[in-house]
Amino acid sequence: MSCVKALTTGLSLIELLVTLSVAVVLLTVGVPSFIDMIAANTAVSYANDLLADLNYARNEAITRSLPVTVCHSRNATSCTGAWSDGWIVFVNSLVSANATTVSNSKDILRVHGAINPIPGASSTTPGWVLNSNYANYVQFYSSGLSNMVGTFVFCKDNQLNSGHQPRSSAVTVNKVGRARVLQDTDGDGRPNKNLPNVTPVVNLTTCIP
């Protein structure tokens, strides 16, 4: 009868240090990339949400033959606060009323919550903010036209981009009331003001349109 000794093996101190070093390098490279990816996806998501609501507002204005307003709203019932506080879409059922007056709670068609937990968040507030040259609202008429041309810009930590990674997105409304998401055609992480395939490329330069 023979006896076989069980051999136990493990990592030496040097092997453990090498493993930890490799792990630190992978984390150093991987974590920022993951954070950038999340920021880019969030920017796209916010822009698509707003685009959908703007297009919906325009379509409802045409269908109902009544003005429809999109305004920033802190309380989801009236035009208050800043764009970063969220927005509402409502029908101006009383045409004679002010464009930012919700005449009846039943006139509210859609509500979007805040993108920043800090009330009244502006371009200097950490986290995501939404800025626009629409000071308070954009309104669509029964013809489909909007009250003015304008742009909305979503930015994280007041940055359009980090290297070539986007930290922003933008939606613009043209003269006939059509909205579109601005594309990054040159791959620098910043939305382009002009249409795709139009040169030279004109980038947004700040988070304030």
CA 13: distance to chain centroid?
Answer: 48
DSSP per-residue letters across 32-90: HHHHHHHHHHHHHHHHHHHHHHHHHHHHHHHHHTS-EEEEE-SSSSSS-S-GGG-EEEE
For the ranges 3-7, 81-85, 133-137, 187-191, the lowest mean pLDDT is seen at 3-7
User: What domains appear along the chain, each with residue ranges and CATH number?
Assistant: 22-181 (3.55.40.10)
Torsion, Cα 105 179 183 156, to 10 degrees, reads -20
What's the whole-model pTM score? 0.83
What local confidence, expressed as pLDDT, does residue 23 receive? Answer: 62
Does 159 score more than 80 pLDDT?
yes
**What confidence tier does 184 reach under pLDDT thresholds 50, 70, 90?**
very high
What is the rounded distance in angstroms from the CA atom of residue 62 to the CA atom of residue 144?
Answer: 6
**What confidence tier does 113 reach under pLDDT thresholds 50, 70, 90?**
very high
Average pLDDT over the chain reads: 88
What is the rounded distance in angstroms from the CA atom of residue 180 to the CA atom of residue 52?
Answer: 10
Higher pLDDT, 120 or 85: 85
What is the rounded distance in angstroms from the CA atom of residue 145 to the CA atom of residue 92?
Answer: 15
What is the rounded distance in angstroms from the CA atom of residue 207 to the CA atom of residue 40?
Answer: 15
Average pLDDT over residues 63-67: 97
What local confidence, expressed as pLDDT, does residue 55 receive? Answer: 98
Most confident of 14-18, 157-161, 193-197: 157-161
**What confidence tier does 3 reach under pLDDT thresholds 50, 70, 90?**
low
Decide if 184 contacts 190 (C-beta within 8 A): yes
Average pLDDT over residues 65-70: 97
Most confident of 15-29, 35-49, 121-135, 166-180: 166-180
Q: What's the pLDDT tens digit per position in 12-62? A: 777 677 767 766 665 555 445 767 888 899 999 999 999 999 999 999 999
Average pLDDT over residues 62-79: 97
